[in-house]
Amino acid sequence: MTSQRVAIVTGGSRGIGRAIVKRLAADGFKVVVNYAGNQREAAAAVEEAGADNAIAVQADIADETAVKALFEAAIERFGGVDVVINAAGRMDLAPLADFDLATLDEQVRVNLRGTFVISQNALRHLRDGGALINFSSSVVGLAFPTYSVYAATKGAVEAMTLVLAREVRGRDITVNAVAPGPTATSLFLDGKDQETIDRLAQQPPLQRLGQPEDIANVVSFLAGPDGRWVNGQVLRANGGVI
């Protein structure tokens, strides 16, 4: 491994992605903060990480040309890529019978195609000793009503992750997925009333919602030297809810 470790974090401007950026910068990484459109939040994430430690790069993760430019920017600024974290995602909820097909296509585009395109570029550019960390969700197992499309996209990410771990045999690259449970981010909280939030918070034996920092700690482990023997796994970081 090189002494200077570099990470790309998609969806790094807000929520779990932003907590990951902050944690990896504290761990000594140089971090590329990918964002879809909110430049102000991306700049704030860079400021939190330290201007010498991070840059923000806008890219649509499902656009192969934009993603190629994202990786090129990381290599030009920091010299290479060692860790890639697919934290960007979209969650639209409705009963399957009522789900809008255009929204279905967009959610598949972001969650599945986006993870695919980022992963494809990661495997082309990761240095030996690197790590690819995808994001699933514990709703794959929880099977909450209205989550059919979101859970389906994340189930596909899990399947892809396990295959990729075997396809990079011989390169000393780990490939894993993190599957958070209910976590206090705007992605999770938006559209839910307080009664629903309180009920979900009581499901884990630890009786609270996860915090973005809880998930960032798991990513830090997988991205660092202590996580090198964990490979081809889905880590359900959910406080014990399943």
What pLDDT does 1 receive?
42
Rounded to the nearest integer, the mean pLDDT of the chain is: 94
Reply yes or no on whether the pLDDT at 103 is more than 50.
yes
Confidence of residue 161 (pLDDT cuts 50, 70, 90): very high
**pLDDT at position 188:** 75
Q: What is the pLDDT of residue 203?
A: 86
Domains of the chain: 6-235 (3.40.50.720)
Q: What are phi and psi of 167, to 5 degrees?
A: -75, -20
175 forms beta bridges with 132
Residue-wise pLDDT for 175-195, tens only, equals: 999 999 988 887 777 778 888
pLDDT for 217 equals 97
Say whether 150 is catalytic. yes
Share of the chain above pLDDT 90, in %: 83
Going by pLDDT thresholds of 50, 70 and 90, the confidence category of residue 201 is confident
Average pLDDT rounded to a whole number, residues 199-212: 88
pLDDT of residue 3: 65
Beta strands in 120-193 (DSSP E): 126-135, 174-178
Which is the catalytic residue, given 150, 161, 174, 238? Answer: 150
Cβ–Cβ under 8 Å, residues 125 and 71: yes
Q: What is the pTM of this model?
A: 0.94
pLDDT computed for residue 196 by the predictor: 84
Is residue 79 helix, strand or coil?
A: coil
Cβ(29)–Cβ(106) under 8 Å? no
Q: Which residues face 178 on adjacent strands?
A: 135, 235
- The pLDDT value given to residue 2: 47
